[in-house]
Amino acid sequence: MSRKSYAQAIKDTIAEEMRRDEDVFVMGEDIKVLGGIFGCTRGLVDEFGEDRVMNTPIAEAGFIGAGLGAAAAGMRPVIELMYMDFTYVAMDQILNQVAKIRYMTGGNISAPLVIRGQQGIGRGNGAQHSQCIESIFMHIPGIKVVLPSTPADAAGLLRTAIRENNPVLFVEHKALYATKGEVPDDPEFSIPFGKANVVKKGSDVTLIANSYYLSKAISVADKMEKEGISVEVIDPRTLVPLDKDTIIESVKKTGRLLVVHEGHKVAGWGAEIASTVMEEAFDYLDAPVARLGAKQCPLPFNLGLENAVVPQEHEMEEAIRKLL
C-alpha cells in the first residue's frame, strides 16, 4: 500500500497500463507538457514520448471521433477531457458513434476507449465547468459510466476501464484530486465494474452516494450514529453497469432509502435507483424513497449560491430523520 492522492493514483495507473500494453496511449487538451490542468498526466511524456502522450487541438468531437477510429483499429486510447462539461461539445461522437458502434454493427466493431475527466462543484468554475454529466450518459445504452470516490477506487476502476473492451466514461471529481488514501501497489490491482461498495454497514437507513458526495454521506452517517441511527452507506461505483442486487439487499434490510447526488435531482440517476427499488423491493419499504440532488438551475458562480443549489449535509440529515 502507498498513501497517495486521487490524481496520483490516476496518473500511476495510466503509466502502469502504458508500460503493460503498448497499444494504450493518452490524448487530450494540454496533457503533454502541462500534464492536464489537474496534473493527471504530468510527466508521462518523459517516459512514454510524445507519440503516446499527445496534445490535441481544442476539437473535442474531432479527437473523440479519432479515438473511436483508433480503438476500432486496435488501439486503446485514454482520452482526457479537461472538463466533463466538454462532452456536450462532442455529443454526437460519444452518444451516436462511440456508444452505438458495437450494437449497430452487430458486434462487428468494438470500441475499447476511455474518456476521462473531471466534473463538479468546488472551484467556482460556473455553469459550464461545474456540471455533473453522468445521468445523461447513464440514459444512453452502450457506454459504461464509472465514478471513483477514493484514490484506491480511482486506481482499481481505471485499470478495469483501460482493459475493458467497451467504451467507458470515467468521471472524476475536481474536488477529489487532492484527497489522499491508501492504494495497493500491485500493478494488477483492479476493481470490477458493477460491484457496489458497502462503505459503512448499518441497519436503519440505506444512504446511496458517490464521487464527491461519498465523504459527505460518511460524515452524515457517522454523525447519525452518535444519535443512535444506524446508516448503511453504499457507493455504487459504476452507474453502468449498476449493482442493483447490493442496493436491493440493503433496502430489504433497512426498509428506508435516501439517494443523494450532486447532479440535478430532476431525471438524475437517483430517480432511476428510487424507481428500481420501488419496482423490486416495494413491500420492504417502510417509507417513501427520498432523493436529494441539485436544484433545477444552472450552477452559479458565487460560492454561497453554488452551495444553495447542491445538497448540503444538514439536508441529508433532515431527509434521514424524516424517513424514520
Stretch that binds another protein, among 32-40, 41-49, 54-62, 147-155 (CB under 8 A): 54-62
One residue of 70, 115, 158, 234 binding another protein per CB under 8 A: 70
| DSSP structure string for 85-122 | GGGGGGHIIIIIIITTHHHHTTTS-----EEEEEE-SS
Q: Are 5 and 32 in contact (CB under 8 A)?
A: no
Question: What's the closest the beta carbon of residue 243 comes to another protein, in angstroms?
Answer: 15
Question: What's the closest the beta carbon of residue 57 comes to another protein, in angstroms?
Answer: 6
The single-letter DSSP state of residue 288 is P
> Would you call 271 exposed, middle or buried from its count of C-beta atoms within 10 A (0-12, 13-18, 19+)?
middle
Beta partners for residue 115, in sequence order: 79, 169
State the Cα–Cα distance between residues 14 and 158, nearest whole angstrom. Answer: 8
188 forms part of the interface with another protein (CB under 8 A): no
57 forms part of the interface with another protein (CB under 8 A): yes
167 cis-preceded (ω within 30 degrees of 0): no
Choose the catalytic residue: 129, 173, 261, 264. Answer: 129
Strand 114-119 with 24-28, pairing = unpaired
Question: What's the closest the beta carbon of residue 123 comes to another protein, in angstroms?
Answer: 28
One residue of 65, 126, 255, 300 binding another protein per CB under 8 A: 65
Instruction: Report which secondary-structure segment, H or E, holds 138.
Output: helix 134-139
Question: What's the closest the beta carbon of residue 27 comes to another protein, in angstroms?
Answer: 9
Half-sphere exposure of 26 (CA within 13 A, CB side): 33
Choose the catalytic residue: 17, 29, 60, 134. Answer: 60
Number of amino acids touching another protein (CB under 8 A): 42
Give the residue from 288, 238, 242, 291 showing the smallest Cα distance to 262. 291
Encoded amino acid at 269, one letter = W
Q: Is residue 232 among the annotated active site residues?
A: no
Strand 180-183 with 2-5, pairing = antiparallel
Question: What's the closest the beta carbon of residue 50 comes to another protein, in angstroms?
Answer: 11
Cell digits of residue 171:
468521471
Question: What's the closest the beta carbon of residue 164 comes to another protein, in angstroms?
Answer: 6
49 forms part of the interface with another protein (CB under 8 A): no
Stretch that binds another protein, among 8-16, 139-147, 176-184, 245-253 (CB under 8 A): 139-147
24 forms part of the interface with another protein (CB under 8 A): no
Q: Quickly count: other Cβ atoms within 10 Å of residue 304's Cβ.
A: 7
Task: List binders of another protein among 271-310 (CB under 8 A).
Answer: none
One residue of 37, 39, 88, 110 binding another protein per CB under 8 A: 110
Q: Is residue 60 among the annotated active site residues?
A: yes
One residue of 38, 63, 212, 213 binding another protein per CB under 8 A: 63
Residues near another protein, by CB under 8 A:
25, 51, 56-57, 59, 61-75, 92-93, 96-97, 101-110, 141-142, 144, 160, 163-166
* Residues designated as active site: 60, 129
